Amino acid sequence: MSEGIEYPALPDEVLSTRTNMNISSIKSAMERGQLIINEAYQREAVQRSKPDFRTRLIESVLMNFPIPPITILKTPSGQPDEILDGQQRVTTVLDFMKIDGSFSIKGEALMKLDYDIFSKKKFKDLPEEYQWRIENYKIGVDEVRETDDYPAEDIYTIMNTNRIDMKHEELMKSRYCREDAYQLLAEYSESEPWLSSVAAKRNSRCKATGLAFKALMSIDYGNALPSGSQGKCLECYMERVLRGNNPTPGNVLRAKLQSTLRLLKSVFGDTPSMKIDYVIPSNTKLYSINFYILFYCIRRAKTEYSSQTIESNAGAIREGFYAFVNEHRYDYLENRALSGKAISKRNLHCWDNFFHPLLELLTEDEPTRDERRIFTPTQRVVIIGKALEEEGGIFCHYCKNEIMSVDSVEIDHIKPWSEGGKTVIENGAVIHSSCNKERHHARGEEE
């Protein structure tokens, strides 16, 4: 051991063992419920992304060529084992073996087997010796056991981090799938409002959820992202909000995303980040470029101005934004591999040079927000005393129930501060701390 360095202890137990199973044994274990596919580790279907893969895998099995091993997570007694890695290989072979299945060999994808003989053949069309070859094909199996220090999602992530074909969103899904907040965001990102407005139905579930977290990352830290890649920035953000010292509840993340998307759609239409209204080369990808700008700038506008002001000036904001991006298109649209720091620089440039000046111009005749948002201790005492005098008790302005403990009392604006409400005694009301959080989250605001 190097002097002055204390290395961590490595696991004493063997976490994995190598064995072999034939296809029939895997099929039987799955039919009996002893082996399952865990959706958390399911990647995008190869039918869509790599249609030739399926035929070539069957060809490899028939030729008795080796294919990569699968990884099975061994679970406690009484629970089914889980296929941790290799799900595509297993499901492809089992799909082909279905007697009433539609999967047939694609002749154009064959590399060694004769096209005229095997093209469009299904499992039931093959001679018995060929069927026997598939059923008894032995595939390598790595059996792994999770521990408190090495949970399944970490094992999966470490195994796949350096795989070129492994999408970043798939790794993030496997890592955070057990977190309640991730599950809530994943559920929302698969819903019609998000898919039709932002993610596009052609994207996988992982991609749609990844876009949701990217939008939140730009909302929360779009002016101060680090210099690493977009993927690394996203990983740091998700770790902070999902597993940090003070993780953000899923309902808060969802409410923030929903309220920002609602305002974004009111200004830019039903598909705001897929608008193609720019004078640019036809091969330029807009999708990931203006995505960050729109969520950052609209959310900041919502924080500094009222939603009513933004919506009432939607036409001017929308057309002005298109003209602004056209003017600066080389800065905004043609760099396809932006780092987090570059995204922040572009977000701030758009805010400082378009959104903020325009909104200041549009609102110069409107009353400004009170510079002070928090009620003073003196105001708090007066507002609570007023409530006791008028109501004979302290009753929540929001839920109307009595507040039993002074420690649970908070003071909130009757007319929201975000909509120009003043921080004065006349505009203050007593409210449960929990109701205050709920009220702000419902509007997608911070307390």
Highest mean pLDDT among 11-20, 87-96, 324-333, 367-376: 87-96
Q: Tell me the average pLDDT across 317-341.
A: 72
Mean pLDDT across 227-238? 85
Q: Are 433 and 405 in contact (CB under 8 A)?
A: no
> What mean pLDDT value characterizes the chain?
80
Is-contact 54 46, C-beta < 8 A? Answer: yes
Instruction: Tell me how far apart the alpha carbons of residues 41 and 31 are, in angstroms, rounded to a whole number.
Output: 20
> What's the CA gap between 75 and 79, in Å, rounded?
6
Question: CB-based contacts of 243: which residues, under 8 Å, 6+ apart?
Answer: 176, 179
Contact 137, 84 (CB under 8 A): no
287: Cβ contacts below 8 Å, ≥ 6 apart: 273, 274
CB-based contacts of 405, cutoff 8 Å, min separation 6: none
Burial (Cβ within 10 Å: 0-12, 13-18, ≥19) of residue 117? exposed
Partnered with residue 395 across adjacent β-strands are 402
- Tens of pLDDT, residue by residue over 236-287, are 899 889 988 888 888 889 988 998 999 999 998 887 766 555 555 544 444 4
Per DSSP, the residues of 3-17 read: TT--PPPPPSS--EE
Look at residue 47 in the predicted model and tell me its pLDDT: 47
Nearest CA among 238, 329, 256 for reference residue 296: 256
C-alpha dist (Å) from residue 254 to 243, 251, 261, 298: 17, 5, 10, 16
Q: What is the pLDDT of residue 375?
A: 84
pLDDT-derived band at 216, boundaries 50, 70, 90: very high
How confident is the model over 111-146, as pLDDT tens digits? 889 999 999 999 999 999 999 999 999 999 988 887
Q: What is the pLDDT of residues 335-360, one digit of tens each?
A: 456 788 888 988 998 999 999 899 88
Higher pLDDT, 283 or 383: 383
Contact 254, 184 (CB under 8 A): yes
- pTM recorded for the entire structure: 0.57
Looking at the predicted structure, is the pLDDT value of residue 431 above 60?
yes
Q: What is the pLDDT of residue 88?
A: 86
208: closest CA among 200, 219, 217, 218? 200
Which range, of 291-300, 305-314, 400-409, averages the lowest pLDDT?
Answer: 400-409
Gap between the Cα atoms of 142 and 53, Å rounded: 22
Residue 46, pLDDT > 50, answer no
What tokens were used for 239?
């770790």
Strand partners, 351: none
